[in-house]
Structure 1
């Protein structure tokens, strides 16, 4: 009996050792194939540009495996987000997250995905938003814009992805700050994606907008748009003469801003999380990543924020605004 037990124990130890070796080998091998990076918004916008910049840079550190960007749009970004949460947590399907992943569930109780339904790998960049008008507009300053909105009785128009998208909240927060009804003082005209929003302003179809800098800077630099204010903690280096919402005293608008993050499905294995921590650490100092971020008007913040705590704070910010503005009764 003793010999049988000893033999069984030896067999169990051998199986455990083999399993450990296989697990270690799998961990060391990641990634073994292409990684899909889902961008939940349309091509050409700020999120798409950020996703492609990350893919282009990160592939230098993924052991020769490509990072392939796939756009999966719909439902304010939540269609792509939901798709990622439904994938196997193996590190081969990731999400280029935006503020919408925190904002949407902050507004809608029936959101298809909760703000915390992910493994948070990191916050990548801070993306200033710019309040702008067409260069041919008679609006020269933020005061001119506010005066025109007050006189228009709701007739002024602005482009946004939707009333509860970040570019909707950017305007509504400002309207609320100056004592106007955030939902009726100006009329929202919906468009999909940053490039479509910019085209609406360029074409004279709306009076103003406030969207991500990445979608507007090329047009501002070309002299086709006039920036009035930026939504960022400090002035943009590329627009040193344009004031921030915060310095102008707009309390709510001063807290609004865009950002990008990297998420994975819930319960991502620790070794894969560690691998991406390593990859992002290298991306953070990569000249290519920093250059592409600067060209988009963004600031790299990799490693500056605890992603889980940061996303929670963003959820709470927009949940509070949603209640104040009447989206949540």
Structure 2
């Protein structure tokens, strides 16, 4: 090799060597993550089931990581307040966000304009749980089965009310799917808060709706509500006496659920992502978390990265179909 050629090879090798040396500190930094307090932003208010899970998770992750993990509640605005705080936060994984299924697979088809892009702003790091819905009626209701509700709705098209707390939430979309599957037409009544909604059912003001076991359990245990069915593929372990929709005279294989995930920003180093996923999976597999899930009627949702991508894509397609069929849109 001539001297000029050697000089060119040496010149090419210098930046390669520098790049290689620069990669060492970056890799070491990734391995040490987290290096400070981690913020878990949640769109839920304090006191509810998702908030309770996030706090148990934060405590366990804090012990595992040797850094504080603080839960920051940013409720309201369809979750947009929490999402905005996350988008303006740290991009290195020290800010994470708890998201509901609607944020990822319903709102993109409901809102004409969204203040975020699910594909660009989030990378789901871990799935947590599914919350299946109970079909609920007043304890004094004439409805004893889901079949009774269907029969009355068919006999009185457009006159039977059901309620939820907004347009496009899992209850609203679930009841739209219920009407499609049963060939019925019902009237959607919107309440300002979930507490008002289920109190209205308990008082007999509203004849029927759906809700998670965690939300409706207090009134159910107080004898104010009756569970006609659970919209799940099988009965819940915490409520073994509550039949599935098919068992109660409703549509077979009728499923309605919300689900919960932890997401980070796009572009996190693979080592950081692997750590977050593995440590969250370990945390939520503990019996203490599983017991807490059962308290709220949640079912564990444990998926790896590939499984998560497949699941979210399928859920997006399903929600798109429901929303388009029902012709629902929001500004």
1:135 pairs with 134, 139, 143, which one?
Answer: 139
> Is residue 232 of structure 2 the alignment partner of residue 229 of structure 1?
no
- Distance in 2, matches of 1:211 and 1:267, equals 36
* 1:327 paired residue number: 328
TM-score, with normalisation over the residues of structure 2? 0.84
1:23 pairs with 23, 26, 33, which one?
Answer: 26
- Distance in 2, matches of 1:83 and 1:104, equals 18
* 2:51 paired residue number: 48
Residues 139 and 127 of structure 1, relative CA distance in 2, 3 Å threshold: same
Correspondences of 1:113-152 after superposition (within 5 Å): 113-117=116-120, 118-151=122-155
- Distance in 2, matches of 1:56 and 1:292, equals 14
- Distance in 2, matches of 1:27 and 1:87, equals 18
> Is residue 173 of structure 2 the alignment partner of residue 169 of structure 1?
yes
Kindly name which structure, 1 or 2, has the bigger radius of gyration based on alpha carbons. Answer: 2
TM-score, with normalisation over the residues of structure 1? 0.84
Shift of 1:9: 8.6
- Distance in 1, matches of 2:77 and 2:169, equals 10
List per-residue Cα deviations over 1:55-97 (Å, max 9, x = no partner).
2433332x23232222223342244234424433211211211
- Distance in 2, matches of 1:210 and 1:76, equals 19
Correspondences of 1:1-329 after superposition (within 5 Å): 15-16=18-19, 19-61=22-64, 63-101=65-103, 102-117=105-120, 118-151=122-155, 154-181=158-185, 185-192=186-193, 194-247=194-247, 248=249, 250=251, 254-303=254-303, 306-327=307-328
Structure 2 residue runs without a partner (length 5+): none
RMSD of aligned alpha carbons = 3.1
Residues 197 and 55 of structure 1, relative CA distance in 2, 3 Å threshold: farther
**Partner-residue secondary structure (3-state), 1:88:** coil
Shift of 1:308: 1.8
Which stretch of structure 1 is more off in the superposition, 6-15 or 167-176? Answer: 6-15
Residues 75 and 246 of structure 1, relative CA distance in 2, 3 Å threshold: farther
Residues 145 and 93 of structure 1, relative CA distance in 2, 3 Å threshold: same
Residues 18 and 210 of structure 1, relative CA distance in 2, 3 Å threshold: same
**Number of aligned positions between the proteins:** 323
Which stretch of structure 1 is more off in the superposition, 82-91 or 26-35? Answer: 82-91
Asked if 1 retains the 8 angstrom alpha-carbon contact of 2:143 and 2:149, the reply is: yes
Residues 175 and 236 of structure 1, relative CA distance in 2, 3 Å threshold: same
Residues 9 and 186 of structure 1, relative CA distance in 2, 3 Å threshold: closer
**Partner-residue secondary structure (3-state), 2:254:** helix
List per-residue Cα deviations over 1:7-63 (Å, max 9, x = no partner).
9899867754653342133212211222222222333444333333432433332x2
- Distance in 1, matches of 2:200 and 2:44, equals 18
Residues 205 and 71 of structure 1, relative CA distance in 2, 3 Å threshold: farther
